[in-house]
Structure 1
C-alpha cells in the first residue's frame, strides 16, 4: 500500500506562506535559519552546541522533579539522563493540554518528533537525540481544550476556568468519564481506553499531571520526554531575557521589523506582538503586564509595580512570569538543547515571524519542520474507493468540485464545453479583424454578442451538469458518504477525530507504533494509514 497520496502543497489545506516555505521560495528563505532536511542538521548541531547557554543539570533535575509519581520507562529515563551530555540534543513539538489528546494531530506531532529523533541518530551516530513534548500548561484558552469528538458527538468538560490551564483541578472529569464509557462500548481496546482515561484524569489532581500521565502512558515505549514550562527552576534561566522584555520591549521591536515583509508578500500575519509579551500568573490568574507611564500594571487587577519592584519580583518569583505566544518559543530554545521544532502549518507560520527576535537575543533559531499529516482508512473504505474508481487526489477535493469532476467522468458525453468556448472565441477573433477594417463602432456590439453566446454556453453547461448529477445521483451520494467519512465536516480527519474513535479498529499503542513506521521524515506528502 502506498504511504503517501498527495503533497501538502497540492492539498489545498495549507496557507500561501507554508506552501512557499515548503517550496523553499527564495523570498521566504530570509525567515528561517536552515530548511528541514537531514543534511542540514550537521551545521545546526554545530551552531547549537557552540551557542547553547542553558543549564543541562538544572534541566535534568527539573525533569526528574516533574516526573515524580509518574512511572517512566527505561528508555525515557535514559533519555532524561543523557540530556546531561554535551552531545545530546532535543527534537521538540508542543501542544495544548487537549482533553484526552483532542484531535488526532496531537498524536501525529509527537510521533513525528519520535521518528525524527530516530532518523537523526542513524544519520549522526556520534550524537543522541531526545524527542520532547512541551506541554502548554500556562495557556489559558480553556474552551479550546475542554472537549474532544467521539462518534460525531462533542464530549465536553464543563466548568469555570481561570488562570493557567495546567493548574486546573480535574474536578468534574468523572462526568466526562461516564459519557466516554457509554460511547466507547465494549471490546478489549475500548476497555483499555476507558482505563487510560480513568487513571489519567480521575487519579491525578490537576490537568498538567493528568496530561503528563496520559502522554507518558501512550509514548513511554518510545522514550518521549515531557517538559512542563511552568517551573521555577527553568524560568530562572529566563530572568535576563524577561528583564530585556520588560525594560526594552525587545521582542516587540524585533518582530515588528519582520511584519512588513508579510504584508508585502500577502502572507497572513499569524500573531501580532505586544509591547510586553509576558503574563503575570497565579493559580487563578493569567493577565498581561503593560507599562503605563513609569509603572507596570497587571491588567484587570489592582497589581501595580514600579520597575524596581517588578524586577525584584522577577528575581525572587520568576514562576509568576509567563511568556506569551511570541516569547514561549524563545523560552523553549533557551532551556533546551533543541535543534528542530515540529508543528502544524499555523504554528510554523508564526515561528517564521520570529527569526529576527532570536537574532536580537542571540539564541540559535531552530530548524522548522511541518509535521506529518495522515488519513487513517479502513479496509472497508479502501474497497469502496476502488469500487467507486476514486483516487486520493479526488478525495482531497472540496465536495462541489469532487461532484463536478466525477459527474463529468461518469457522463456518456462531454460535459466540458471548453473546446466549444475556444472555437467561439476563435470565430469572434475573426470578426474583430473585420470590425477593425470596416467600422470600429461595431466593436462594442461584437463584444456584447460574444459575451452573450459565452453566457449561453455557460448556462447550458451548468444545466447539463445538473441533469447528469440527477442521473448519477446514487453513485454520487455514495462518493459523498465516503468523502464525509474520511474528511468530516470538509476538514482533515486529523483535526476532528480523537484517537479513542480508532479503538474499534486498532489497539492504540499498535496504532502509534505503526504510524511511526508509516511516517517519512522531512516529506511533504500526506500519509495514508491503513487501519
Structure 2
C-alpha cells in the first residue's frame, strides 16, 4: 500500500483532490485558507470566555491567557492538533504534535501578519481505554517498562475517568534512572496528579507544564459551554446523515483506487454521532428509524433534536464528524495530524463539503528519534545507521556471534555427525540377527542426532555469552530506538528523557525545523 504522508510531501498533485485545504508546503495555501476563513463567522466571545475559565482552573500562565484573548478578535486564526488523553502525555509523538502546532502557528503569525494561536484538542470523549491505559519508560539498564492505569475504564469516556492515586503511579516509576532531575520531575508529576479532577485534566496539566513557554491552548470538548456551542452542528449532522455517509463512501472508494489503505471503513446505518445515556452508544439509522447500537427502541428525528436542545452534553462526534465540529467551532487555518490521521482525513473532504465547509490545510507533525550519548556511541561503534536498527538486528547479532567463532563450531558438529552416520552404517549387517534390529538402529540413531543437535544449541548458547558485550549493545539500541518492536516516538513517554535531562529536552524538540518532513534526530 502507498504511504499517504510520503506522497503528500513529494507528489502533492497526485492527492490534491483529497486535501482541498491545499499543499502545506506552499504559502499560497495558507493565504487562500485565511481569506476563506475571513468569510465565516464564529462564536468567538463564548469560545474565549469558556477557554479562559478552563485555563484559569488549569493555572495557565499569562502567555496562554493572552492567546485566548486574541481569539476574540475577528482576524485571529488557529492551528489545531489533537490526541487522546494518555498517561503523563502518552507517547513522544504527542509532544511532537503539540510542538509542530506551536511552531506552525508562530510561523504563520509572522508570514500572514495576523494573530495565529496554537490549540490542542484533547479527545476526552473517547472511550477506547486500551489506547490510553499504558505508557512506557526506560530503566537504568535501558530496558522499557510500562506504567498502567488500574481498572478497565468501565466503558466510560476518558473525561469521566478519575485520576488514580499518585502513589499507585509512582510505584510503577521507581525504575526510572537516578539523575539530577528525577526527584523534581516526580515531585511535579505528583502535584499535577493531585490537582487534576479527571484524566483529561491530568493530561492537559502535564502537557501544559512541559510547554509552559509557548502559550498552547487546550480544548476539552466535554466542557458544557462547548457542548452548547456545538449543538447546531450536531443538529445538522443528524439532518444530513445520509449525505455524510454517501460522501464518505464515495471519497473512500477513490482513495482505495489510488492504492491507499483506508483507515475508516464506511458501514451502512452510521449516523456518525454518539449518544451518552450514560454509556456512549453510536446512533444508527436503519429501517427508516434511528436507534442506538445494541438497542431496538426506535427514535425519530424530532425526539433526538428535543434531547439535543435539553442535553447537548449527551451528544458527541465520532472520527468522521469530529473534524467538522472542530471546523464549525474554530477558524482552523491548519490541522496537524500524525500518519494515521492523515490517512483518514483524506477520506473526509466530501464530508466537509456535504456539511458546507472546506477542509483545512493538513500539515504533518514532525517525526523524530531521540539519541542519547550512549546510543550515538553504540551506533558509531557498530557502524550502524538508525535505518539498520529499524530493519531489525537479528542478522547483525548472528554475524557478531559467528565472527567470534574461532573453533569452527558448525564444521566440527557436521564432521561428528558424518562419523556417527558412518558408524551406524557399519552396524547395518547386524540386522540379520533379528527382524527388529533395523528399527532399533534407526530409532537409536535418531536419538543420538537429537542429542547432538541439543548439544550444538548449548554450545552456541555458550558462544553467545562470550559475545555478551556486543549483543548487549545491540539489544540496548533496539530497546531504545524500537521499543516493543515499534518506532520510539510511538511508545516511549517524553518523561523518560525529561527525568534524565530536564526541560532542556523540550527546548531541543522546539528547535526542530517543522518544514522538513523527514525524520529528525534529537542528539542529547
Name which of 131, 138, 141 aligns with 1:144: 131
CA contact (8 A) 1:369 1:522 kept: no
- State the 1:225 CA deviation: 0.2
- Counterpart of 1:42 (choices 18, 31, 34) is 31
Partner of 1:3: none
In the TM superposition, residue 86 of structure 1 has moved relative to its aligned partner by 1.6
Tell me, in whole angstroms, the C-alpha distance in 1 between the residues paired with 2:400 and 2:244.
51
3-state DSSP of counterpart to 2:195: coil
**187 and 394 in structure 1: CA distance in 2 versus 1, 3 angstrom threshold:** closer
Q: Is the 8 A contact 1:103 1:498 kept in 2?
A: yes
1:212 Cα deviation after fit = 2.1
Q: Which residue does the alignment assign to 1:226?
A: 218
Shift of 1:221: 1.6
Q: How far is the alpha carbon of 1:94 from its aligned partner?
A: 0.4
For residues 76 and 378 of structure 1, what CA distance do their matches in structure 2 show? 32
Tell me if the contact between 1:163 and 1:281 (Cα under 8 Å) persists in the aligned partners. Answer: no
Q: Is the 8 A contact 1:79 1:225 kept in 2?
A: yes
Aligned to 1:278: 273
Q: CA deviation at 1:503?
A: 3.6
- Contact between 1:190 and 1:500, CA under 8 Å: does it hold in 2? no
Q: Does residue 495 of the first structure (1) align with residue 490 of the second (2)?
A: yes
TM-score (norm 2): 0.80
Aligned position for 2:189:
197
Partner of 1:394: 388
Cα distance change, pair 403–48 in 1 and its aligned pair in 2 (3 A): farther
1:145 Cα deviation after fit:
0.4
Q: Distance in 2 between matches of 1:474 and 1:170?
A: 43
| Rounded Cα–Cα distance in structure 2 between residues aligned with 1:143 and 1:393 | 29
Q: Note the C-alpha offset of 1:329.
A: 0.6
The answer to whether the Cα contact below 8 Å between 1:232 and 1:317 also exists between their aligned partners in 2 is no
The secondary structure found in structure 1 opposite 2:94 is helix
SS at match of 1:297: strand
Deviation at 1:374, TM superposition (A): 0.9
Q: Does 1:26 align with 2:13?
A: yes
Q: Which has the larger radius of gyration?
A: 2
Q: 1:110 to 1:19 in 2, by over 3 A?
A: same
RMSD: 2.9
Partners of 2:340 and 2:349 in 1: how far apart?
16
- CA change 1:44–1:25 in 2 (3 A) is closer
Q: Which runs of structure 2 are paired with 1:153-168 in the superposition (5 Å)?
A: 153-161=145-153, 162-168=155-161
Q: Deviations over 1:251-286 (max 9, x none)?
A: 21111111111222221110124520000025x511
Contact 2:237 / 2:355 at 8 angstroms: preserved in 1?
no
* CA 197–273 in structure 1, closer or farther in 2 if over 3 Å, else same: farther
- Give the alignment's TM-score, normalised by structure 1: 0.79
Contact kept? 1:189, 1:506, Cα under 8 Å: yes
In 1, Cα distance between equivalents of 2:472 and 2:98: 35
User: Any idea what the Cα deviations from partners look like across 1:10-48, whole Å, max 9, x if unmatched?
Assistant: xxxx95233222222533111012011251311221112
1:183 aligns with 2:175: yes
Q: CA deviation at 1:172?
A: 4.8
- Secondary structure (helix, strand or coil) at the match of 2:271 reads coil
CA distance in 2, matches of 1:296, 1:290: 6
The Cα shift of 1:530 comes to: 1.2
Q: Secondary structure at the match of 2:58?
A: coil
Q: 2:364 aligns with which of 365, 370, 376?
A: 370
**Is the alpha carbon distance of 1:224 and 1:25 closer, same or farther for their aligned partners in structure 2, counting shifts above 3 Å?**
closer
Change in Cα spacing, 1:120 to 1:401, as seen in structure 2 (3 Å) is farther
Which range moved further: 374-383 or 346-355? 374-383
SS at match of 1:371: coil
CA displacement at 1:375 relative to structure 2: 1.0
- Counterpart of 1:60? 48
8 Å CA contact retained: 2:101, 2:119? yes
Which one is further off, 322-331 or 232-241?
232-241
Find the aligned partners of 1:354 and 1:137 in 2 and give their Cα distance: 22
User: What does residue 322 of structure 2 align with?
Assistant: 328
Aligned equivalents of 2:316 and 2:18: distance in 1? 26
> Structure 1: 5+ residue runs without aligned partners?
1-13, 411-468
Question: Per the alignment, do residues 201 and 172 of structure 1 end up closer, same or farther by CA in structure 2, a change over 3 Å counting?
Answer: same
Q: Which moved more, 1:156-165 or 1:182-191?
A: 182-191
Aligned to 1:420: none
Structure 2 gaps of 5+ residues are 139-143, 405-462
Residue 518 of structure 2 is aligned to residue 521 of structure 1: no
For 2:259, what is the secondary structure of its paired residue? coil
Q: Please state whether the residue corresponding to 1:276 is helix, strand or coil.
A: strand
1:82 to 50, 53, 70: 70
